[in-house]
């Protein structure tokens, strides 16, 4: 796959954190990297230019949702996802596997495929491994994902084991179904928090020689400690020369902990979802701007942040926007939160090159905990 190259430039001497470069058909991504979630070909409330100014190099969109509307064929007719959403950087599309978990009440599952009852109009939507690949090839993202089964955290061992078997079988079908050579197809390791199941999943996927590997099935109800323990046992099972992607995670603390364990790529809705609900991420922990204490606060959201929002607007003004129900409030706060996440990843990359990830982790965790 000549369109893609991944290299690790430096590994921290005290942890498993690594800084690298991933070259894609639409540009280079410096890792570790955070991808804002643009489920429906838009990161809610933000323009592509704002995402770029916030430091974003790559975004995520979703196969299931885009297949329902406007339809993958229409996106292809209009020039593909990059042109459709006017984003010229790399894009990753999730296969729809997470919807097997999140829309379980609307879905029936067997070894052949998942059949959804559309959350929009109730119509049936069939998603097989082959169809997931076809949709993603029509969309034209740089990085595409195998269809997988993501069981809930409280699933019993039998169900987790079955999900591993199905995910492995579906991954082989996805590999066979792929026709485009300009898209990097990632396999997804499942297995819940069970060591043996994670090992079984990796043993089934690594021989398929994917260009990258994702760790799925986390941030679905387990404790943070369980997530980190699962990463401790899963990451070493994955090839060193391929990017590692932790799906759907997470908080700033989660990102720091996962980077220190060797994860390269992340996505999560928290920066924009929390931004729409008046919660701002800061260097000293999150703050809720609806609180009365910010009514007359002339300072920026975060004095250490250089994003356009912190340079131009006060906490008092942002609180006013939310209290008044003005749409600019969620937009500005989402913009700041994305910028905060991107700056955090930049700081982590610097810490890796300086061999000080352990110190960075301890200092940041102390600051976050002191604000609780």
Q: Is 284 a catalytic residue?
A: no
Strands 5-11 and 124-127: unpaired
Catalytic residue, from 12, 148, 264, 267: name it. 267
Q: Is the peptide bond before 32 cis (omega within 30 degrees of 0)?
A: yes
Catalytic residue, from 94, 148, 254, 264: name it. 94
Q: Is 267 a catalytic residue?
A: yes
Residues taking part in catalysis: 94, 267
């Amino acid at each position: 796959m000549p369109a893609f190259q991944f290299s690790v430039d430096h590994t921290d001497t005290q942890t498993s954190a690594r800084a690298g470069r991933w070259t894609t058909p639409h540009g280079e991504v410096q890792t570790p990297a955070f991808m804002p979630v643009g489920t429906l070909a838009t990161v809610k409330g933000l323009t592509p230019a704002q995402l770029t100014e916030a430091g974003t190099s790559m975004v995520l969109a979703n196969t299931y949702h885009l297949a329902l509307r406007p339809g993958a064929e229409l996106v292809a007719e209009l020039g593909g996802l990059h042109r459709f959403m006017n984003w010229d950087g790399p894009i990753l599309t999730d296969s729809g596997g997470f919807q097997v978990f999140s829309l379980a009440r609307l879905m029936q599952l067997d070894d052949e495929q998942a059949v959804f009852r559309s959350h929009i109009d109730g119509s049936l939507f069939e998603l097989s491994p082959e169809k997931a690949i076809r949709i993603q090839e029509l969309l034209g993202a740089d990085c595409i994902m195998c269809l997988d089964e993501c069981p809930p955290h409280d699933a019993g061992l039998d169900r987790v084991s079955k999900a591993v078997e199905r995910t492995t079988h579906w991954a082989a079908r996805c590999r066979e179904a792929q026709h485009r050579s300009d898209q990097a197809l990632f396999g997804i390791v499942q297995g819940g928090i069970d060591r043996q199941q994670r090992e079984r999943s990796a043993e089934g996927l690594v021989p398929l020689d994917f260009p990258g590997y994702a760790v799925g099935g986390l941030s679905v109800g387990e404790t943070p400690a369980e997530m980190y323990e699962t990463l401790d046992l899963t990451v070493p099972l994955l090839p060193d020369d391929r990017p590692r992607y932790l799906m759907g995670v997470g908080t700033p603390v989660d990102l720091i902990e996962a980077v220190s364990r060797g994860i390269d790529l992340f996505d999560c809705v928290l920066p924009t979802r929390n931004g729409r609900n008046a919660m701002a991420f800061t260097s000293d922990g999150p703050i809720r701007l609806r609180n009365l204490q910010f009514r007359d606060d002339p300072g920026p959201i975060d004095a250490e942040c250089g994003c356009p929002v912190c340079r131009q607007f006060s906490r008092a003004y942002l609180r006013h926007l939310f209290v008044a129900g003005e749409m600019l409030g969620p937009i500005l706060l989402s913009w700041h939160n994305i910028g905060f996440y991107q700056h955090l990843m930049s700081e982590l990359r610097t810490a890796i090159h300086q061999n000080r990830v352990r110190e960075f982790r301890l200092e940041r965790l102390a600051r976050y905990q002191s604000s609780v």
